[in-house]
Chains A and B, each alone.
Chain A
Amino acid sequence: MVRKILKKLFKFKDIEDYHAELYPEMKYIEDLQPKKKYKRAKK
């Protein structure tokens, strides 16, 4: 609760806030090829 107030009043930042800024989530090219479905071999 105290952290929340500090954050709001003094723009106090947690280490997680810095991490979110410093390490953004990576974005990738998507594989547009349909996934091959596994088919059980007929006996």
Chain B
Amino acid sequence: MSVLSITGQELLDIVHKDVDDFSLDAGYYITDSSYAVPELTYMMSNVYNSFTKWLKFIGLDRKPGQKQFWHRKFDCENLASLYKSYCDLLHYKTNPLSFTENSKAKKKNKSDSEGLAVGTIWYDNSKAPNSQNLHAINAVITQRPGAKNLSVVYIEPNNGSQLTLTKKEKESIWYAKF
């Protein structure tokens, strides 16, 4: 059985379907031609646990309290970008062979997709009217347990939890990069 791969356009369609009324001014950036679809439960458990170990390894210590990985000069958008890069790194390390090597070698890559369907999104999560609280998190295109179709799952990289974005929050997304 092969790994599920979607094109950049298919990924964009899934994101647009999730955000019913997305802002036309929003920038959605698709930087790879094809994307492998990661398994959700594995992402939420093993990948997140290793991510926290990796943060410690690169010198980002965990603090007590809610904003455990945040620092004044290393906050939400830095952490979300790092989480995406870490997942991309795992995708590369799982599939290190080049096209030519893969066709010749006995051991094959699991996936030949250029990218992994993990992105970063920037949005407004303010609760009070006429206020603004900008935040960055990660979005994963995956298949929820028991679901047939692919959908978007939002993850808070600070604690590894799954987030449910309100309609207003989804509509406030102004930048997304996969």
**A interface with B by C-beta (< 8 Å):** 18, 21-32, 35
Name the A residues within 8 Å of B89 (CB-CB): 23
CB pair A30–B50 under 8 Å, yes or no, is no
CB pair B93–A29 under 8 Å, yes or no, is no
CB pair A21–B50 under 8 Å, yes or no, is yes
B37 interfacial by beta-carbon distance below 8 Å: yes
Residue of A nearest to B150 (CB): A29
A39 to B59 alpha-carbon distance, docked (Å): 55
A22 to B49 alpha-carbon distance, docked (Å): 9
Which of A18, A27, A29, A35 counts the most chain B CB atoms within 10 A? A29
Name the B residues within 8 Å of A18 (CB-CB): 57
CB pair A27–B38 under 8 Å, yes or no, is yes
CB pair A29–B50 under 8 Å, yes or no, is no
For the complex, would chain A's binding face be called helix, strand, loop or mixed by DSSP majority? loop
For the complex, would chain B's binding face be called helix, strand, loop or mixed by DSSP majority? mixed
**Can you report 6 residue pairs joining A to B where beta carbons are below 8 Å apart?**
A25-B110, A26-B91, A26-B116, A27-B38, A29-B150, A31-B4
Name the A residues within 8 Å of B47 (CB-CB): 24, 26
The number of chain B residues touching the other chain, given as a range, is: 20 to 34
A21 to B57 alpha-carbon distance, docked (Å): 11
Q: A22-B50, A22-B53, A23-B50 are in contact. Are A31 and B90 (CB under 8 A)?
A: no
* Cβ 8 A contact of A24, one of B5, B46, B111: B46
Q: With contacts A28-B37, A30-B2 known, what are 16 further pairs, Cβ within 8 A?
A: A21-B50, A23-B50, A23-B90, A26-B87, A26-B93, A26-B111, A26-B116, A27-B38, A27-B46, A28-B4, A28-B111, A29-B37, A29-B38, A29-B142, A31-B5, A35-B2
